[in-house]
Amino acid sequence: MEPVKYSVGLDIGTTKIVAIIGKENEYGKIEVLGIGRSKSLGVHRGVVNNITQTIKSIQQAIEEAEASSGLKISSVVVGIAGQHIRSLQHSDYITRSDSELVIDEDDLDRLCNQVYKLIMLPGEEIIHVLPQEYKVDGQAEIKEPIGMYGGRLEANFHVVVGQVSSIKNVGRCIKSAGLELGSITLEPLASANAVLSQEEKEAGVALIDIGGGTTDVAIFKDGIIRHTAVIPFGGNVITEDIKEGCSIIEKQAELLKIKFGSAWPGENKDNEIVSIPGLRGREPKEITLKNLSKIIHARVVEIVEQVYMEIKNYGHEDQKKKLIGGIVLTGGGSQLNHLKQLVEYITGMDTRIGYPNEHLAGDSDQDIASPLYATGVGLLMNAIETNAKKKIVEVAENQSVNKEGPYVEAGSTSGQAPKSALKIERKSIFEKWSDKLKDFLDNAE
């Protein structure tokens, strides 16, 4: 089978659905081949609540991406967010039967698999198990235990949990749109891959992705993910407030927010007024920009304070856990005027707007380097990584079939399977989980 040359990330958001097709170029950067976007009509606060509408929107985005790239899309990597996502810390250990052998990937897998067996609340399922630091025989703060000797292998894990029904609904939409589900990734993790540099992750940084329906938070320190959270508010609640506060229709509220909105009320003079056409035959409405930014400010402060609470929960005030890299804002909501200043004012932390151009090839389309597409680009990166892993597995499998010779070790019976060959067949836990989900969806039909 010819390995897939390109990969696809699909961001199912509350306001838009984006499909991005791309591949890795020879310099290890990501080349975007095509992009499709459609209005998302069946998603509320990051959760699918109308399957038929969502399927339509997905198909529309996929068709547009296919048309702009001239390629056929079969498998996609999808992001998941929503208010049902929660994360917890957990530590676990395994005792190795033979401490004379060095620790290898099988041991790490065994340890991770053990965490997947944790008993969750009814209706919940583990989405990610992310190892933080390892301990080998009590020696702490080991980042990479492979190749070390030891009898007891311990690790702290960051476990991300979501609702089974929501995950199944996303899977169902993908399947019904005629696509194959490559894997599911937590959206804040995808966005973080796209916009953060390794230095920032080392120094300590909080990524805040302000979407339409949710605001996702991912906190890194020492290069390791430390905390994730999904806050069920985003740009849409700001639009709702403008709509209610100014008695205008949603479309107008959205335009007002984008064109004239500011998160800082002191900016506007009292005499700055926008006139909005009334509905059929009614008088136009006049709205002062000062009032508009007061409405926006009130809601944004609420969102930022919730985010700051998550940063405090992680332990930002502790000297050792200080986030030197400060805050990076991304997502469509980060384009609001003066938001950076407001966030700096509330949190006292350095803030920048994150553009997903960190890993994109130099000649990429300017549009794609907008914070709007951070999650989409991150999911595409994830898809490329998954495909690369599959390729390595395929190559290794072919080699193990072709030449059995080198694998037969001294003293082993030739009937035994070569160890390296066995090792290759082991899928990553995540793929196993995806397979389980696929089987489940097939049976659910």
Give pLDDT tens digits for 164-221: 999 999 999 999 999 999 889 999 999 999 999 999 999 999 999 999 999 999 999 9
Query: Tell me, what's the pLDDT at 378?
Result: 95
Q: The domain containing residue 283 runs over which residues?
A: 236-299
43 occurs within a structural domain: yes
Query: Tell me, what's the pLDDT at 315?
Result: 87
What tokens were used for 168? 């199944």
Query: Tell me, what's the pLDDT at 271?
Result: 81
Buried (b) or exposed (e) across 70-95, using 16+ Cβ within 10 A? ebebebbbbbbbbbbbebeeeebebe
Reply yes or no on whether the pLDDT at 403 is more than 80.
no
Reply yes or no on whether the pLDDT at 150 is more than 70.
yes
10, 58 contact by CB (below 8 A): yes
Please tell me the distance from the alpha carbon of residue 343 to that of residue 46, in angstroms, as a whole number.
23
Reply yes or no on whether the pLDDT at 434 is more than 90.
no
Q: State which amino acid sits at residue 11.
A: D
178 and 42 belong to one structural domain: yes
Residue that is last in its domain, among 259, 275, 299: 299
284 and 190 belong to one structural domain: no
Residue that is last in its domain, among 270, 299, 328: 299
164, 60 contact by CB (below 8 A): no
34 and 173 belong to one structural domain: yes
What tokens were used for 409? 């070790």
Higher pLDDT pick, 290 / 267: 290
Please tell me the distance from the alpha carbon of residue 444 to that of residue 305, in angstroms, as a whole number.
41
**How does pLDDT run across 267-283, given as a tens digit for each residue?**
667 788 999 888 888 88
Tell me what percent of the chain is helix, strand and coil, each rounded to the nearest 5.
Answer: 40, 25, 30
348 occurs within a structural domain: no
Query: Tell me, what's the pLDDT at 146?
Result: 93
51 and 169 belong to one structural domain: yes
Query: Tell me, what's the pLDDT at 363?
Result: 74
34 and 175 belong to one structural domain: yes
102 occurs within a structural domain: no
433 and 292 belong to one structural domain: no
Question: What element of type H or E holds 162?
Answer: strand 152-163
Give the range among 273-277, 307-311, 317-321, 437-441 with minimum mean pLDDT. Answer: 437-441
**How does pLDDT run across 221-235, given as a tens digit for each residue?**
999 999 999 999 999
CA distances from 369 to 330, 331, 378 (A): 11, 11, 12
φ and ψ of 132, to 5 deg? -100, -85
Residue that is last in its domain, among 273, 299, 325: 299
Reply yes or no on whether the pLDDT at 313 is more than 70.
yes
429 occurs within a structural domain: yes
Query: Tell me, what's the pLDDT at 418?
Result: 43
Percent of the chain with pLDDT over 70: 88
247 and 169 belong to one structural domain: no
324 occurs within a structural domain: no
Q: Sorting pLDDT into bands at 50, 70 and 90, what band is 243?
A: very high
Query: Tell me, what's the pLDDT at 423?
Result: 42
Reply yes or no on whether the pLDDT at 28 is more than 90.
no
192 and 240 belong to one structural domain: no
**How does pLDDT run across 39-64, given as a tens digit for each residue?**
999 999 889 999 999 999 999 999 99
Q: Tell me how many domains the chain contains.
A: 2
137 occurs within a structural domain: no
Please tell me the distance from the alpha carbon of residue 168 to that of residue 439, in angstroms, as a whole number.
11
Please tell me the distance from the alpha carbon of residue 300 to that of residue 294, in angstroms, as a whole number.
10
246 and 189 belong to one structural domain: no
Rounded mean pLDDT of 61-79?
Answer: 93
Question: Domain holding 295: CATH number?
Answer: 3.30.420.40
Put residue 426 in one of left, alpha, beta given phi > 0 → left and psi -120 to 50 → alpha: beta
2 and 77 belong to one structural domain: yes
408 occurs within a structural domain: yes
Helices (H), 330-428: 339-347, 374-402, 419-425
Query: Tell me, what's the pLDDT at 360?
Result: 87
* DSSP class of 231: E
Please tell me the distance from the alpha carbon of residue 235 to that of residue 46, in angstroms, as a whole number.
12
Mean pLDDT of the chain: 87
89 occurs within a structural domain: no
Put residue 411 in one of left, alpha, beta given phi > 0 → left and psi -120 to 50 → alpha: left
76 and 176 belong to one structural domain: yes
Reply yes or no on whether the pLDDT at 415 is more than 80.
no
173 and 254 belong to one structural domain: no
